[in-house]
Copies of this chain bind each other. A is one copy, B any other.
Amino acid sequence: MGFDRLIEKIKETGNPSVVGLDPKLDYVPDFLRKDYEAEDGLSLRAASRAIFAFNKAIIDEICDIVPAIKPQAAYYEMYGYHGLKVLQKTIRYAKLKGMFVITDGKRNDIGATMQAYTAAHLGTVMVGENELEPFGADALTVNGYLGSNGIDPLLKVCRERDKGIFVLVKTSNPSSGELQDQLMDGVPLYARMGDLCEKWGADTVGEYGYSAVGAVVGATYPAQLAELRERLPHTFFLVPGYGAQGGGAEGVAAAFDKNGLGGIVNSSRAVMCAYQKEGCDPREFAAAARREVIRMRDDITAYVHMN
């Protein structure tokens, strides 16, 4: 219940971070691409197969020291349905290796349509008497602009299948304030959205005090991170924007409670492209990813102490 499963993995690994698997084809070393391109030509299928090989090698290398991965749906959709097949395979493989999987899809809709997204990403679908799992992630990022009608369909599956969601609250980008910071009766929109997360999650609070309705709060706004940690005591935070976007470990520490829990920090490109930054042999891309994961873990846990 709540985010207990994720929190237990964080405690096991002593690492409150998640690796974003946002694999642009440019990130995949040539040596991995060329076999698939020889077989399938310069096609979306070849690109997708190379991306899966890349993901798989990284998962193999990091699964013992990272609690979770966060595949970003956009980078799979970009390669058409072949890419979506790789999203499914990546999710299944990471779960097989014991990782918690957050699909970053920022999905949103209402009623029956939101039920369809829920079934797609967190639930199951019936075909005749067969119950099938289309993508099967553990959690999904969602956008709450449509209000409760967009969130309610998710809550049922959170309860029944022990899943979670992360609602966009205060995003990490420079223009997030255009709407999110505007005041409504003296309260910024992001805080109103945060208050709704507390409400939506109220009956799914788990053992560690956090509900199944988490929030996305950017590392690039440490003051708001601290303010929201205080305001939303039952809301688990997914924190993007560390590293590449400029958020530092010291600021990120504000996402955590007094037990060093309550949040997970994402890094994507810095891990996937660690081999480029290191300038090492591209054949060592997965080992370089592991080195970057360890560097990040140590950077964050210098400020975040788990009890």
Interface residues of A (CB under 8 A from B): 22, 24-25, 37, 41-44, 46-47, 72, 74-75, 77-85, 87-88, 106-114, 116-117, 119-121, 125, 127-130, 132, 134-135, 143-150, 168, 171-180, 182-185, 189, 192-193, 196
Contact = CB atoms under 8 A, between A and B. Distances in A.
B132 A179 contact: no
Copies of this polypeptide in the complex: 2
Given A79-B125, A144-B145, 6 more contacts: A43-B130, A47-B125, A74-B113, A81-B82, A106-B109, A147-B180
A41 B113 CA distance: 26
Contacts of A78: 116-117, 119-120, 125, 134
Nearest to A50: B127
A147 B85 contact: no
A192 B184 CA distance: 12
Query: Which of A24, A113, A148 has the most chain B CB within a 10 Å cutoff?
Result: A113
A116 B25 CA distance: 11
Contacts of A111: 173
Contact of A146 (B79, B110, B173): B173
Contacts of A184: 182-184, 189
Contacts of A147: 173, 175-180
4 shortest A-B CB distances, which residue pairs?
A147-B175, A147-B178, A80-B134, A74-B116
Contacts of A113: 22, 72, 74-75
Contacts of A132: 43-44, 80
A80 B149 contact: no
Contacts of A116: 22, 24, 72, 74-75, 77-78
B77 A117 contact: yes
Given A149-B174, A179-B145, A189-B179, A80 B74 contact: no
Contacts of A145: 143-145, 168, 171, 179-180
Nearest to A44: B132
Contacts of A42: 127-130
Contacts of A77: 84, 116-117, 120-121, 134-135
